[in-house]
Amino acid sequence: MSPIDDELRSLFTSRADLLAPAPDPLAGIESRARRMRRNRVAASVAGTALAVAAIAAVVPAVLPEKVADGGGSQFADVTPTPTASAPDRAFAPQSLDPANPWPFRGTESVLIDGGQQSLTDQWRAKHAGSSLTPLYGQVYEPSNAGEVVFVASGPDGDRWAVATTSESGWQILVDNALAPDTKALLAALPGDEVPRLLVLTSPAIGDIAYAPDGTTFRSYEGSDGGVSVVPLEGDTSRDAVRVLDGNGDLDKPVFLGPAPDFVAGSGAAAAPNNLVTWPSRGATPDAAFLEKALNAFAQGLGAKRSDVEGKVLFAGDDDARNVFVFGQAWIKGSDAHTFGYSVNGKGEATPFLGPITAKNPDVLAFVVAAGTGQSTETLVVVPDPAVAKVLYGVAASEYDVKGAGQENLNGVVLIDRDPRAQGDKLKLLDGSEKVLFEGEVASLLCGIKECG
Amino acid sequence: MDEQAREAFRGYVAARSPALLRTAYLLTGNRADAEDLLQTALAKTYLAWDRIREREAVDGYVRRVMVNTQTSWWRRRKVDEYATDVLPERSTGRDATVDLALHDALWTALAELPKRQRAMVVLRYYEDLSEAETARLLGVSVGTVKSTTSRALSKLRETSGLRDDPRASLPADGVLA
């Protein structure tokens, strides 16, 4: 036994054993239990009153086959297994109705301070005209990322989705059509040690259980009624989820069906290892604009938009009324490229496909083309936040300090550059005048296929 | 729940709540949260009482509910302070100042562990559950318990300033920065 084992035992014993028992805990327990039961019944009755679909009365004799996953998605559509329900109004299972969805559970902290608006913007960039209602929110502690489950309605039909916060904004992890009479939303999410299965049901249900082998169920109690998170380990090819009503009726489960598979390397777990850690600077880009930029990147590389992700490093505009965004973009599973996208005053878009970003670079840059009647283009220099001074020179031995008076750009420098410039250079210094980078601008602008 | 079942539940609470409160306290780090956590876990147990067929398994059920509930609470509550209302004991036979500093450092380090790591450490070193029992209770593999506990202990050593010989690592004044 190691000393730390002894110390832990000693610490636990000394601290815990001095704890006086709570006086008569039973009254509080029974009161809280009654409150929990009342909440379940209230939610259940509300759901029953709103239900419009007849409930199937067929008990599945065997579990259905594992949900097909033809697209390689880590998330399965959870079309409800034909399940039975007792005609007991007080504990009737509750389907998810987008018009009158389940009440929100979990933490709202991930949606405050504009979080819900930015999520809505991001969602509408993909599903125009859609409105969404959050159902559940949590902060996943290991990554400190917010996660939100929501239901949406619009021209694309009823959908349900899971989104997570990332450095580039909201990332949609799940985006599935909502089948009629859905009673459980299941999503396999990435985790720090093992993937996680998130199960979201009506708060009126009584028990959520998971069976790795499809038959040996074990209950997973969460702190919020109707929500459970299950670690996914080992062979999950036959795993299943079972949801029971408030009576715990094993013969008539609210939901009984296979759990979706998690596919490693997709979703939030797919961030490339050359992603820079700098904060996003400048303006907050419009979600629709960002979506167009990432579309352009996908087209430039012949990839599907759904396979492309990005991180914004700087967004803003210049004197020639060009609006632009600059950062990194990548195809899932591949290294990230520096990438820019600009739109001029006439609405003409110009993507910039930069090189694969070096690991831990000191500076990244891209060029916004000269507008009509403009004699200069804009060189956008995005340095490491530790850089104190940016110098630019058109000739080999001459440098001008750039960036003075541009404090609002938080270190990013916009330089008017002659489109015909050759051999122009950048030099970056830290606070003690130490040179962090010195080299030709062209070396930062090498495209995917060629340089210059 | 009929009167007989209710009486059985009362008996269980009376007999086991002091011990379960201690576990809740070690999981949460303060008494108020521990009482709240235990009450929530026992209320859920109350509602499920008729479904728990093996009375010997109730402790495991309550512990599992506590760990799962506490995990979610940690996600919801950003804990910036780790207060304690219990003074560490002053043992005899060792330098009390050193013991106090050691325990304080270790307690602080525990509070900084991720929720699952802390739960595993409490189950292994307070509840004295085996790796297999801990794995069963948390619904994970034995390998995960081993690796997670190992990472937790490494972090505790690192954060608290403990080494394999804790006394040798302490500064002369017993104060750990």
Give the pLDDT confidence of B4-28 residue by residue, as tens digits.
888 888 888 988 888 899 999 999 8
Amino acid B76: pLDDT: 42
Name chain A contacts of B57, Cβ cutoff 8 Å: none
CB contact under 8 A, A25 and B153: no
For residue A103, the distance in angstroms to the closest alpha carbon of chain B comes to 17
For residue B176, the distance in angstroms to the closest alpha carbon of chain A comes to 16
CB contact under 8 A, A141 and B22: no
CB contact under 8 A, A107 and B76: yes
Amino acid A249: pLDDT: 76
Name chain A contacts of B62, Cβ cutoff 8 Å: none
Please name the residue of chain B whose CA is at the shortest distance from the CA of residue A19. B22
Cα separation, A226 vs B87, in Å, equals 39
Tens digit of each residue's pLDDT (9 = 90 or more) over A70-109: 322 233 333 333 333 333 333 334 789 888 889 888 888 8
Beta bridge partners of A367: A379
Name chain A contacts of B72, Cβ cutoff 8 Å: 138, 222-224, 229
Tens digit of each residue's pLDDT (9 = 90 or more) over A384-436: 887 888 888 887 667 776 654 454 467 788 888 888 888 888 888 887 888 88
Cα separation, B42 vs A329, in Å, equals 50
Cα separation, B86 vs B102, in Å, equals 16
Name which of A432, A393, A48, A350 is nearest A205 in CA terms. Answer: A48
Name which of A238, A241, A264, A401 is nearest A332 in CA terms. Answer: A264
CB contact under 8 A, B141 and A139: no
Task: For residue A102, give the DSSP letter.
Answer: P
Cα separation, A90 vs A247, in Å, equals 10
If DSSP codes are grouped into helix, strand and coil, which group holds residue A137? strand
Which of B25, B141, B165 faces A16 most closely, judged by CB atoms?
Answer: B25
Name chain A contacts of B14, Cβ cutoff 8 Å: 26
For residue B10, the distance in angstroms to the closest alpha carbon of chain A comes to 7
Name chain B contacts of A10, Cβ cutoff 8 Å: 91, 103
The mean pLDDT value of chain B amounts to 74
CB contact under 8 A, B102 and A7: yes
Task: For residue A56, give the DSSP letter.
Answer: P
Amino acid B163: pLDDT: 53
DSSP for A337-366 reads: EEEEEEE-TTS-EEEEEEEEPPSS-SEEEE
Name chain B contacts of A218, Cβ cutoff 8 Å: 139
Q: Does B93 touch chain A (CB under 8 A)?
A: no
Tens digit of each residue's pLDDT (9 = 90 or more) over B123-161: 999 988 888 888 877 777 788 888 888 888 988 888 777
Tell me whether strands A323-331 and A337-343 are parallel, antiparallel or unpaired. antiparallel
**Residue carrying the six token digits 């050691």:** B102
**Model ipTM value:** 0.75
Chain A contacts in chain B segment 144-173 (CB below 8 A):
144, 147-148, 153, 156-157, 162, 164-166
The mean pLDDT value of chain A amounts to 75
Q: Does B58 touch chain A (CB under 8 A)?
A: no
Q: Which helix (H) or strand (E) holds A324?
A: strand A323-331
CB contact under 8 A, B157 and A4: yes
**A-interface mutation test, from B47, B121, B140, most A Cβ less than 10 A away:** B47
Lowest mean pLDDT among A268-277, A370-379, B52-61: A268-277
Chain-centroid distance, C-alpha A147: 7
DSSP for A168-186 reads: TEEEEEEEEE--TT--EEE
Q: Are A137 and A111 in contact (CB under 8 A)?
A: yes
User: Residue B40 contacts by C-beta under 8 Å, 6 or more apart in sequence?
Assistant: A32, A223, B65, B69
If DSSP codes are grouped into helix, strand and coil, which group holds residue B14? helix
CB contact under 8 A, B156 and A8: yes
Tens digit of each residue's pLDDT (9 = 90 or more) over B91-133: 444 555 666 777 888 898 998 888 888 999 999 999 888 888 8
If DSSP codes are grouped into helix, strand and coil, which group holds residue A268? helix
Burial B93-129 (b: 16+ CB within 10 A, else e): eeeeebbbbbbbbbbebbbebbbbbbbbbbbbbbbeb
Chain-centroid distance, C-alpha A425: 38
If DSSP codes are grouped into helix, strand and coil, which group holds residue A236? coil
Chain-centroid distance, C-alpha B161: 21
Cα separation, A70 vs A383, in Å, equals 43
CB contact under 8 A, B121 and A7: no
Q: Are A314 and A326 in contact (CB under 8 A)?
A: yes
Q: Are A402 and A389 in contact (CB under 8 A)?
A: no
Which of B22, B121, B140 faces A8 most closely, judged by CB atoms?
Answer: B121
Output the CA–CA distances (angstroms, integers) from residue A163 to A172, A190, A267, in the order listed.
4, 12, 10
Tell me whether strands A281-282 and A308-317 are parallel, antiparallel or unpaired. parallel
CA-angle at A291, arms to A285 and A292, nearest 5°: 100
Amino acid A319: pLDDT: 74
Q: Does B82 touch chain A (CB under 8 A)?
A: no
Copy the structure tokens of residue B14.
């009376």
CB contact under 8 A, A15 and B86: yes
Cα separation, A147 vs A164, in Å, equals 4
Which of A7, A25, A222 faces B17 most closely, judged by CB atoms?
Answer: A25
Name which of A320, A315, A325 is nearest A352 in CA terms. Answer: A325
**Residue carrying the six token digits 């899932």:** A332
**A-interface mutation test, from B20, B25, B46, B92, most A Cβ less than 10 A away:** B46
Cα separation, B167 vs B170, in Å, equals 5
Chain A to chain B, count of Cβ pairs less than 8 Å apart?
158
CB contact under 8 A, B91 and A10: yes
Name chain A contacts of B54, Cβ cutoff 8 Å: none
Amino acid A167: pLDDT: 64
